[in-house]
Amino acid sequence: MLSEIQKRLLAEIADLHKTPEGAYNIRADGEAAGRASTANIEISSKPDKPGIDIRIKPGTKNESVHIPVVLSQTGMKEVVYNDFFIGDGCDVVIVAGCGISNCGDQDSAHDGVHCFHIGRDCRVKYVEKHYGEGTGRGKRIMNPRTEVFIGEGSSVEMEMVQIKGVDDTKRSTLAALDAGARLVVHERLMTHAGQRAESEYTVELNGPDSSADVVSRSVARDKSVQLYRSRIVGKALCSGHTECDAIIMDEAKVLAVPELEADCVDAALIHEAAIGKIAGDQIIKLMTLGLTEAEAEEQIINGFLR
């Protein structure tokens, strides 16, 4: 039975207010809190370590999988390994994410290792949200690692979101694309107080006509620190683009490190990075509409991270 805190965390990270339709696996405070498979999607526990295997039959379309994790006990630390095996011709949505509520003095941490093996001619959308809350002095720590192997002709869209309450995080993502495969990543991130966030993406464009678009939008407030590192490797006729747009405020620090490697004369790779403060004329314009300066800043930030 989920507590009220755990239910609130699920609503924040997965928009779940009731048992989801389709396949799901809910993990709460290190234990299974609910699981269901379908005729096309099978979820099973790993026999040798914490985590699950998700197997999606070829041709599965218009189905979803929810695999959220919530921690509500101070001092909990865990590492979970989840593997996805997605057959040819699938069209599915996968919703993950982690929420931590820590009202104690000890650090709470969740490290999730996700590995995707995606067949040919698939369409996959992956949503991963991180959220933290709590009044305790203990930190809320999340270090997700994601590996994505995209088969020929498949497309993957990844939405990576962290906009509140996570004290320390290091997100590491590796993607390898076969011929005609496509990857789109949208990262949204906000840090405040003394929080630290690192994002590292490595994308290997191995097959001809493969493409990748990796875009990060972030806001750094107070004395927080952000590091964004993105590396795109073109090994065939391909196209790759990586972009980091950041708003910096107060005494925060942002470091953007885009990197391109072309191993083929036909690789077309582009990187962009922009870091700056909120323009004063934007604030003034909104204040003329009746908003306070603080309200104007929040409106601009919300629009930027949308």
> Region 8-29: what's the mean pLDDT?
88
Tell me: pLDDT of 63 over 80: yes
**pLDDT tens-digit readout, 167-216:** 999 999 999 999 999 999 999 999 999 999 999 999 999 999 999 999 99
What is the distance between the alpha carbons of residues 277 and 275, in angstroms, rounded to a whole number? Answer: 7
Among 52-66, 176-190, 193-207, 269-283, which stretch is predicted with the lowest mean pLDDT?
Answer: 269-283
Residue 1: CB atoms within 10 A of its CB come to 5
Token pair belonging to 84: 């996805």
CA 166 from chain centre, in angstroms, equals 13
3-state secondary structure 193-222: CCCEEEEEEEEEECCCCEEEEEEEEEEECC
> Region 283-301: what's the mean pLDDT?
89
CA 257 from chain centre, in angstroms, equals 19
> Region 56-74: what's the mean pLDDT?
96
CB 182 within 8 A of CB 212: yes
Tell me: pLDDT of 162 over 80: yes
CB 99 within 8 A of CB 132: yes
CB 250 within 8 A of CB 267: no
Tell me: pLDDT of 81 over 80: yes
DSSP state of 270: E
Q: So what's the pLDDT on residue 17?
A: 79
Token pair belonging to 44: 């099973």
C-alpha distance from residue 172 to each of 132, 147, 160, 175, 201 (Å):
19, 9, 11, 10, 6
Tell me: pLDDT of 1 over 80: no
What is the distance between the alpha carbons of residues 93 and 85, in angstroms, rounded to a whole number? Answer: 13
Q: So what's the pLDDT on residue 112?
A: 93
Q: So what's the pLDDT on residue 16?
A: 79
Q: So what's the pLDDT on residue 171?
A: 96
Residues comprising the chain, all counted:
306
Tell which residue, 193, 195, 260, has the closest CA to residue 227. 195
Percent pLDDT > 90 in the chain is 82
**pLDDT tens-digit readout, 92-103:** 999 999 999 999
Token pair belonging to 230: 């993105």
Tell which residue, 118, 124, 120, 161, has the closest CA to residue 142. 161
What is the distance between the alpha carbons of residues 271 and 104, in angstroms, rounded to a whole number? Answer: 42
Secondary structure (DSSP) of 73-106: STT-EEEEEEEEEE-TT-EEEEEEEEEEE--SSS
Tell which residue, 34, 29, 25, 189, has the closest CA to residue 114. 25
CB 251 within 8 A of CB 226: no
Cα atoms in the Cβ-side hemisphere of radius 13 Å centred on 217: 11
User: pLDDT-derived band of residue 44, with 50, 70 and 90 as boundaries?
Assistant: very high
pTM of the entire predicted model: 0.94
Residue 226: CB atoms within 10 A of its CB come to 25
